[in-house]
Amino acid sequence: MELDDLTHTSGEWLRGTGPEADIVISSRIRLARNLAQFPFLSRSDESTRAEIEGLLHQHVSDLRLPQPLTYLDVQNMSELDRRFLVERQLISRELCESSGARGVGISSGENVSLMVNEEDHLRIQVLRSGLALEDCWEEIDRIDDSLEEKVTYAFSEQLGYLTACPTNVGTGIRVSVMLHLPALVMTKEIQKVYQALQKIHLAVRGLYGEGSQAMGDFYQISNQVTLGKSELDIISEVKDVIPQIIGYERKYREALVKEKRRDLHDQVSRAYGILRTAQTISSEETMHLLSSVRMGINLGLIDDLEIPTVNELFIHTQPAHLQKLRNSALESGERNVARACYLRERLASNNDVP
């Protein structure tokens, strides 16, 4: 698999098929790991970084996974390709923006990514469509076990897996669920969700993790504590709260349909109309409109469009994706025209799911 092969496809986690997929976009678990015999990356010079990268590149490439894995050299990749992988959720912004020897192993279905020389020597990530945290854990635990046979992780009996930042020490686990919550945003109930989650030490973030804004009504809920609890306890804490949020979102969707059906139908139809006919459109407006359309499909207000197509459009209309599709660098204004053109074409033939 080449990087360019990803341009026209979309990851399995976007297929919208898992449990609760109308509201839960994806489940993700990542583990932070470091090699015992090397300093952390903030204290590694270029040659040490290269040595760590070489070693982990080898072990990552040797992994036997259900799907074939491709290792990409992020250091020598163009900025556009790096941004493309960030939009695709396959690498973090930190791996994209840092410097020196670094890479990523990606499984063909895009469910697994292994980042080498991110904040920690190794960040293993597993993604699934819908609410499927146990599946994520089973796979990531197996990958971690396989790697652990080859390398010695920095580990202490008292503090667990030792990480570059003390906020990850212990299990090194970050469990995240991405939710689409348009009704809670429309009714301004989302603030209550924020406050309730903060009280139980769960973090709420935007689509691209730490520091990012919640665009298109997507919210990522994840654990903050990594020490003193087992991986399964941490997974349960995140998982147990999700049905309540789903229930809350459904309740407000139903109320909107009951009390403001005409207004809601009008909003959804206008959004769909603009997306099908606009000649120039910004990334932000696209996200906003796609969010309305996505909710409209789930409520039966739009019947000629599939959720996977909308999920795919969220990703494929972002700046780096558009430039990869066009195979050329585009300025912001040019991207808005290209985005509108792409949306028109894709929505005119929306029954042809690739």
Contact residues for another protein, defined by CB under 8 A: 34, 36-40, 42-43, 45, 47-48, 119, 141, 144-145, 148-149, 152-162, 164-167, 169-171, 173, 225-231, 234
Does an H or E element contain 160, and which? Answer: strand 160-161
Closest distance between another protein and the C-beta of residue 270, in Å? 43
Closest CA to 121 of 58, 163, 165: 163
Report which residue type is found at 303. Answer: D
Nearer to another protein, 122 or 278 (CB): 122
Task: Find how far residue 293's CA is from the centre of its chain.
Answer: 20
Closest CA to 245 of 297, 300, 189: 189
β-pair type (173-180, 202-205):
unpaired
**8 Å CB contact between 327 and 320:** no
216 torsion bin: left (phi>0), alpha (psi -120 to 50), beta (else): left
Nearer to another protein, 165 or 353 (CB): 165
Nearer to another protein, 38 or 208 (CB): 38
Look at the chain and count its residues. 354
Closest distance between another protein and the C-beta of residue 82, in Å? 22
Closest distance between another protein and the C-beta of residue 55, in Å? 12
Closest distance between another protein and the C-beta of residue 223, in Å? 11
Nearer to another protein, 173 or 264 (CB): 173
Closest CA to 72 of 52, 102, 49, 93: 102
- Segments in 127-176 forming alpha helices (H): 133-148
Closest distance between another protein and the C-beta of residue 11, in Å? 27
Nearer to another protein, 29 or 274 (CB): 29
Nearer to another protein, 39 or 100 (CB): 39
End-to-end CA distance of the chain: 18
Closest distance between another protein and the C-beta of residue 159, in Å? 6
Closest distance between another protein and the C-beta of residue 121, in Å? 10
Nearer to another protein, 148 or 263 (CB): 148
